[in-house]
Structure 1
């Protein structure tokens, strides 16, 4: 593929248009597969090595971050996390384009933010054709277990996403949202300063 062709493919990816596996091959140098394997197999006592690997893997990483292994990523280099991030086990980043997480984000086990989907008609899925849209998770968001966040979604500041939800559209700040598809069920207010559960 010529540089001009690569630029054309990258432009289509950035616009959320369909592209194929062969067309995306020019991005393979950005994959951090080996480093992710090393991270997932580094003993807990080697905190310094884990931190060093995480800095090498991710596009950017803040301070006081915790990412419990195992985690998985298509690239790793397209993931950006802020300060005071906590990610529990089996976090899977499908990061063909950027996934950006703010400060103070908390993620429960087995969550999948996926920037990439596939066309509905099988004739358009030749050569693993797909499209991608960036994901933004703003500061202080808490995401429950087994949540899937779909391409192009933004989750607003301070929001809570209930366990098992499929987030297919933007979620506004300071709300509790849950379900499949994920929907806002209420706002977060000062009354929540005296309660323990999201639903009470």
Structure 2
């Protein structure tokens, strides 16, 4: 858990950490089995329930929707704006920097730590995927997966329908073109596009 985690979600996660081995392995960055973990299922179901409520009330009661968002994501900074719908598996595994904007259909899958910097523009239908399922047939059947962290630096612009795969980093000030699939790290200060996504050119200062 990060220093910025707190509130009811963080308290419940801390309590579950004392009893659930898969949650302990998740926090340690090790292999987990979601399908056999009561704690992981409880946390993700609670997060999706909160997301559903946020999505339902956003335009009728935006203040309450934003309060629920901050409860869901204790690691959210100041001045964050978003548009529904959102879908987040574990709000306590997500850190978002100040003044970042999340457009509609923001999706975070799995329990890998996700860090989004300050002043980012996250386009519509962007997806962040953190789990890698086991390639070994028997281990995959047994439900083993390895959540890996995803990092988005400060002042990053992700175009619409960008997909970030487990373990990648997008450097500060970079732009990722619409529809790109990021499978390897993207350096700072570049325009990157494609599937797989590759740097196209540096950004003029």
Normalised to the residue count of structure 1, the TM-score between the two structures is 0.84
- Aligned counterpart, 2:40: 27
CA 1:45–1:14 in 2, change beyond 3 Å: closer, same or farther?
A: closer
- Aligned counterpart, 1:86: 101
The alpha carbon displacement at 1:5 in A equals: 7.9
The alpha carbon displacement at 1:46 in A equals: 2.0
The alpha carbon displacement at 1:20 in A equals: 1.8
Match of 1:173 among 178, 182, 188: 188
- Aligned counterpart, 1:73: 88
Superposition pairs for residues 95-134 of structure 1, below 5 Å? Answer: 95-134=110-149
The alpha carbon displacement at 1:128 in A equals: 3.1
Structure 1 counterpart SS, 2:200: strand
- Structure 1: runs of 5 or more not aligned: 191-200
* 8 Å contact from structure 1 (residues 30, 77) kept in 2: no
Structure 1 CA distance, aligned partners of 2:163 and 2:139?
24
Q: After superposition, what is the alpha-carbon deviation per residue over 1:120-165, rounded to whole angstroms, capped at 9, x for unaligned?
A: 3433311432111011111100001111101111111000011111
Structure 1 CA distance, aligned partners of 2:41 and 2:139?
23
- Aligned counterpart, 1:156: 171
- Aligned counterpart, 1:189: 204
Q: After superposition, what is the alpha-carbon deviation per residue over 1:74-118, rounded to whole angstroms, capped at 9, x for unaligned?
A: 122211111111111111111412111110010111110111121
RMSD (Å) for aligned C-alpha atoms: 2.2
Structure 1 CA distance, aligned partners of 2:146 and 2:115?
18
Deviates more, 1:154-163 or 1:121-130: 121-130
Normalised to the residue count of structure 2, the TM-score between the two structures is 0.82
| Residues 1:51 and 2:77 are matched in the alignment | no
* 8 Å contact from structure 2 (residues 23, 32) kept in 1: no
Match of 1:41 among 56, 62, 69: 56
Structure 2 CA distance, aligned partners of 1:110 and 1:43?
18
Structure number, greater radius of gyration: 1
Structure 2 CA distance, aligned partners of 1:131 and 1:98?
12
Match of 1:146 among 153, 161, 180: 161
